[in-house]
A and B are shown apart, each in its own frame.
Chain A
Amino acid sequence: EEQLVQTETWKAQSLQELVRILHRIFAEDKLSVEEVQALMESYDSNPEEWLQYAKFDQYRYTRNLVDSGNGKFNLMILCWGEGHGSSIHDHTDSHCFMKILQGNLKETLFAWPEKKGNGEMTKKSERVLRENQCAYINDSIGLHRVENTSHTESAVSLHLYSPPFDSCNTFDQRTGHKHKVKMTFYSQFGERTLC
């Protein structure tokens, strides 16, 4: 766990500035979760600044890479149509920050399944994240499922993962069985990725 060396109060006036400050913070290799979370929250979502990355898919949520953080982090925008949700997943030993840019997302926290367990996974808590709020999770906290439960509004979220990772485990809520999956980008730097 990183030591809190100094608490800076950052205010990111734009998405571009947020990225700039993130680069500076991560160059120091002294990650303070509180510092990054406060920075992410300080950015007032302005759709004009991120609309170019917000590419929706009709069938499922999309991951759109915004910045690859000099290899230290990945910053991406996720677009959730009505009713779109993720599976229960872990974060491959990385830090995960999730800020709502538009709409609302429900986050349900689950406990890690028992090693020998073969039963329903235990729900720890759930909450609805509102616009501009930023949540944090890592594997020691638990697993989560993220969903847009609205049937009328789409949702957009900004995610930061450090270190970057391209695979994780998804979990079957009924049995706790896990399965490794590879994660892909729907678009990178505003350009649609064809797979």
Chain B
Amino acid sequence: LPAGLSQWFPALEVLDVSGTGLAELGAELLALPRLHTLLAKNNRLGGPGSLPKGLGQAPLGRSLRVLNLSGNRFAEVPPALLGLRGLQSLSLGGNRLHGIPPEIQELRSLEFLYLGGNFITSIPPELANLPSLSYLVLCDNKIQSIPPQLAQLHSLRSLSLHNNLLTYLPREILNLVHLEELSLRGNPLVVRFVRDLTYNPPSLQELAGRTIKTRNVPYAPSDLPENLVRYLSLASNCPNPKCGGVYFDSCVRQIKFVDFCGKYRLPLMHYLCSPECSSPCSSASQSSTSQSESDSEDEASVAARRMQKVLLG
């Protein structure tokens, strides 16, 4: 791009340099104070220096709202763009990403995130710290599981997960009350009921942690090594309402099926603190298949009330 760009066109608001073979977006863009939309799809961006240094602090960094870098060669989310605190829409579809950096949470204004068509294998829980995210596209990747923290994305209206390697979803997905669209086709989702009671007995550290939490033993950060303070903060609540217990690493995983609007069944992973606990809406711990199916019906009506349209298969 010409070096005098920001001098000749200081009022530039939208710039589309898609399909021009660019290998880097240079510093000549930094001084464009009114540029809110930058489209650079289908280029040769991806090497180091693809984006100009100091992007987050430059006038461009403050004005940019929409950035489309789809169809390029990025193997990682370029660190330079993580400083774009005003960015509302980011597309890195069709690149070569193998992961998502936890620093993605610094894009505080992000509403639209398109990461379809990459090689992403897992999702960092920090993604859930984006308070305004309403559209998240993760289709056509290699994702094996969804972190339950994703349910904290209260603004999420559309979640695209099709063509990945998911076998189940975390039950917390039911908490996404504003979710209107969910695509799950092309995943090896477990179809028939699976009772998978994999239980590793808790460690002494786990048992001590549980006791501190359930008995409300007071402690201050100065009382414990930093790693244990952090460990205690990661306690998860047992979903059994009658239990009130917590667990850390040792939990029972159970797949339950929830019928959405009477249409289909989604395998949801339930975590319980012990095999004796049972999820809400399920009665005996030793349920037969037919019992569990009817358990799913109760949970189905709860889920159906919350989730609206689900695109499955």
Contact = CB atoms under 8 A, between A and B. Distances in A.
A59 B308 CA distance: 14
A151 B140 contact: yes
Interface in A147-195: 149-152, 171-175, 177, 179
A177 B116 contact: no
A72 B191 CA distance: 42
Nearest to A150: B94
Contact of B94 (A88, A152, A177): A152
B313 interface: yes
A171 B313 contact: yes
A121 B185 CA distance: 12
B261 to A, nearest CB: 8
Contacts of A103: none
A123 B191 CA distance: 18
A43 B117 CA distance: 32
A103 to B, nearest CB: 13
Contacts, number: 72
Chain B binding site: helix, strand, loop or mixed by DSSP?
A: loop
Interface stretch (A5-13, A18-26, A45-53, A79-87): A79-87
B158 A173 contact: no
Interface string A121-153: 100000000000000000000000100011110
A60 interface: yes
A83 B135 contact: no
A155 B261 CA distance: 30
A151 B117 contact: yes
Interface in B102-157: 112, 114, 116-117, 135, 137, 139-140, 157
Interface string A73-100: 0000000001101011000000000000
A193 B34 CA distance: 33
B93 A60 contact: no
Contacts of B137: 82-83
A83 B93 contact: yes
B264 A177 contact: yes
B113 to A, nearest CB: 12
A40 to B, nearest CB: 28
A60 B42 contact: no
A85 B312 contact: no
A58 interface: yes
Interface in B141-193: 157-158, 160, 162, 180-181, 183, 185, 189, 191
Contact of B183 (A82, A85, A171, A175): A85
Given A87-B313, A175-B313, 14 more contacts: A58-B112, A58-B158, A59-B180, A60-B158, A82-B70, A85-B185, A87-B312, A88-B313, A149-B140, A151-B93, A151-B117, A152-B93, A172-B312, A175-B265
6 contacts: A82-B91, A120-B191, A151-B116, A171-B313, A174-B313, A177-B264
8 closest cross-chain pairs (CB), A and B: A151-B93, A173-B313, A151-B94, A151-B117, A152-B71, A59-B158, A152-B70, A172-B264
Interface of A: 58-60, 82-83, 85, 87-88, 120-121, 145, 149-152, 171-175, 177, 179
